[in-house]
């Protein structure tokens, strides 16, 4: 697949086969991640890769819990999230949504600083952007290798809870967790707004 085909074929994957993934494949994907552009060349990313079965189970339980938090507490209109929708969501989660043979937690490590204190907000923004670029490289590499992933951002709602499980180095801010595995079904690319709606050419 050329790069455009990979991009076209990418779609979020939330249901995975539970077959393990070779270490060499995981490393190849992470290597692609760290080829991303990085503000000031600082490489302030840090990845926690979860393969251990017991820890994976904990991460999956956390992902279920934090998605329920998002839908019932955080999202606009969550007040009208009724019992029936809750039951359906819980059922899908319990059936294995987000359960994967590997999880990659992508962190921003602000231990190394490149900007003066007065510009710390910009430093953090650049850091988040750099880690995000790595996440996209990881997502596309997964597709290129027949795997799939989903960018899970709701993890930030209960960040401390997951950090107690993953124990990242001090000074790390969680950006996303990426479940990684062979998709149960090939990803279905979702439609996008037309370019004319989101572009201005001058
Ligand atoms: C910053 C960010 C946070 C996201 N958080 C979640 C999430 O917590 N759970 C989830 O299922 N999908 C999450 N997604 C995936 C989006 O829902 C998905 O990209 C969007 O619906 C478009 O679908 P596609 O990726 O298949 O094109 C997130 C995506 C981004 C970029």
Compute and round to an integer the Cα radius of gyration of the chain: 18
- C-alpha distance from residue 95 to each of 9, 55, 56, 61 (Å): 25, 19, 16, 12
| pLDDT score of 112 more than 90 | no
CATH of 3-198, one of 3.30.1280.10, 3.40.50.300, 3.40.109.10, 1.10.3720.10: 3.40.109.10
Q: How far apart are CA 195 and CA 177, in angstroms?
A: 29
Tell me if residue 147 falls in helix, strand or coil: coil
Confirm or reject: Cβ of 171 under 6 Å from ligand 1: no
Confirm or reject: Cβ of 154 under 6 Å from ligand 1: yes
Nearest residue (CA) to ligand 1, atom 28: 151
Q: How far apart are CA 200 and CA 153, in angstroms?
A: 29
Report the DSSP pairing between strands 148-149 and 172-181: antiparallel
| pLDDT score of 163 more than 90 | yes
Each domain of the chain, given as residue ranges in start order, spans 3-198
How many Å lie between the centroid of ligand 1 and the Cα of residue 8?
16
Could you tell me the pLDDT band of residue 162, with boundaries at 50, 70 and 90?
Answer: very high
Contact 101, 56 (CB under 8 A): yes
Q: How far apart are CA 2 and CA 192, in angstroms?
A: 21
Which atom number of ligand 1 is nearest to the Cα of residue 192? Answer: 27
Contact 25, 144 (CB under 8 A): no
Nearest residue (CA) to ligand 1, atom 15: 151
Contact 15, 97 (CB under 8 A): yes
Contact 182, 147 (CB under 8 A): yes
pLDDT tens by residue, 141-157: 999 999 999 999 999 99
Residue 141: its pLDDT value, please?
98
Confirm or reject: Cβ of 59 under 6 Å from ligand 1: no
Q: Which residue has the higher pLDDT, 112 or 30?
A: 30
pLDDT tens by residue, 41-90: 999 999 999 999 999 999 999 999 999 999 999 999 988 888 898 999 99
């Amino acid at each position: 697949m050329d790069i455009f085909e990979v991009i076209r074929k990418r779609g979020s994957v939330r249901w995975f086969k539970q077959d393990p993934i070779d270490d060499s494949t995981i490393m190849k994907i992470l290597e692609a991640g760290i080829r991303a552009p990085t503000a000031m060349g600082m490489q302030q990313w840090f990845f926690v890769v979860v393969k251990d079965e017991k820890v994976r189970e904990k991460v999956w339980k956390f992902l279920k819990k934090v998605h329920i938090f998002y839908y019932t507490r955080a999202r606009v209109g969550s007040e009208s999230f009724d019992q029936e929708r809750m039951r359906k969501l819980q059922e899908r989660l319990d059936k294995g949504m987000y359960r994967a043979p590997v999880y990659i937690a992508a962190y921003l490590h602000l231990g190394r600083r490149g900007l003066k204190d007065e510009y710390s907000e910009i430093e953090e923004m650049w850091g988040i952007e750099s880690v995000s670029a790595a996440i996209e490289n990881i997502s596309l590499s997964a597709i290129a290798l027949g795997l799939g992933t989903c960018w899970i951002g709701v993890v930030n709602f209960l960040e401390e809870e997951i950090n107690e499980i993953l124990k990242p180095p001090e000074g790390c801010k969680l950006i996303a967790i990426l479940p990684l595995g062979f998709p149960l079904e090939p990803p279905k690319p979702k439609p996008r707004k037309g370019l004319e709606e989101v572009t201005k050419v001058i």
